[in-house]
Chain A
Amino acid sequence: ETGVTQTPRHLVMGMTNKKSLKCEQHLGHNAMYWYKQSAKKPLELMFVYNFKEQTENNSVPSRFSPECPNSSHLFLHLHTLQPEDSALYLCASSQAGGGTGELFFGEGSRLTVL
């Protein structure tokens, strides 16, 4: 149990589907993140939320739509994805906007787009 829980762990979807990834943290943190991990590429930061407010959008296509209803929950809504969006999506949380660099990661949601 890492303190950061992601569901589902695996997801297969067609390009016309709409699905959502969920992340929940039980660590009392006030910053949450979405990262994309593709094979043979560095981790890509997608979104950052501090105190429920989005503070960073790293030029992510609009087919990815994040939602942060409170400091403990983070969603990534997916629609009309492309096969190249297949990847491991990692959620992380931290204190105080991540300035100390210590992030706590979930185990990821493995997404396959057909």
Chain B
Amino acid sequence: AQSVTQLDSHVSVSEGTPVLLRCNYSSSYSPSLFWYVQHPNKGLQLLLKYTSAATLVKGINGFEAEFKKSETSFHLTKPSAHMSDAAEYFCVVTLYNQGGKLIFGQGTELSVKP
């Protein structure tokens, strides 16, 4: 079965420190992977996506993620957190062998302390 697991339901960092949000996937096929962000009372917005090109993907607002096939991981990182990064982050996998159906992780809530 294909799935995606976000290893932390909540992450808290101080402003200016690095951010690491962890995501592992399970797939028998080459997946496409995405990170979406949801700010309070807003819809989801695409941060970045991996579609079998470069394994290190850069997204908006200074975020990046690295696809590691050997570890089946797609962790999201940012060198220095900003207060405006506080939001819910979703790791998503899409499976072309299932008609492009998206599978969402349960989300990681990121808190940023001053």
Contact = CB atoms under 8 A, between A and B. Distances in A.
A42 B43 CA distance: 14
B32 A101 contact: yes
Contact of A97 (B42, B44, B92, B99): B99
B105 A42 contact: yes
Contacts, number: 57
Contacts of A106: 43
A43 B90 contact: yes
A61 interface: no
A14 B44 CA distance: 28
A100 B104 contact: no
Nearest to B50: A101
Given A42-B107, A43-B90, A101 B44 contact: no
Interface of B: 32, 34, 41-46, 49, 51, 90, 92, 94, 96, 99-102, 104-107
